[in-house]
A = this chain, B = another copy of it.
Amino acid sequence: MARFEHHIFVCTNQRVPENPRGCCDPSGAAFLQLRFKKELASRGLTDTVRANKSGCLDQCEHGPTVVVYPEGVWYGGVKPEDVAEIVESHIINRTPVARLLLAEECINTVSCAHKFRRKAE
């Protein structure tokens, strides 16, 4: 046992409801991260895989956002009911869940078509 084989960061950032970018964890209860923790525990994976809270990952328009390192796989719109599939397919069977992947042209890109932009006054 040494470094984590997979380190899952689950955005738990909050913003005020009227913020146009939205946020990944409006309730502040970290339900999604807890769901990952429980799923990993139930499969005996906690020695090698960690599900961490993270601050804002800056992909707010695609939230709730999750990134898995070291492979750098980004997921968007992740719901608690997706967690078992991510753990089964990605973590155990090394096959990322295609339907939840953030599009390459959206990850950390100012040109992302979904990104909120303030209108010129």
Chain A interfacial positions (CB closer than 8 Å to B): 1-4, 7, 9, 12, 33, 47, 50, 52-58, 67, 69-72, 74, 104, 107-110
Contacts and interface: CB of A to CB of B under 8 A. Distances in A.
Contacts of A109: 1-2
Contacts of A50: 57-58, 108
Contact of A3 (B4, B54, B107, B110): B107
Contacts of A4: 108
Given A69-B70, A70-B71, A72-B3, A9 B108 contact: no
> Top 3 closest A-B pairs, CB basis?
A53-B55, A69-B69, A70-B70
A9 B33 CA distance: 16
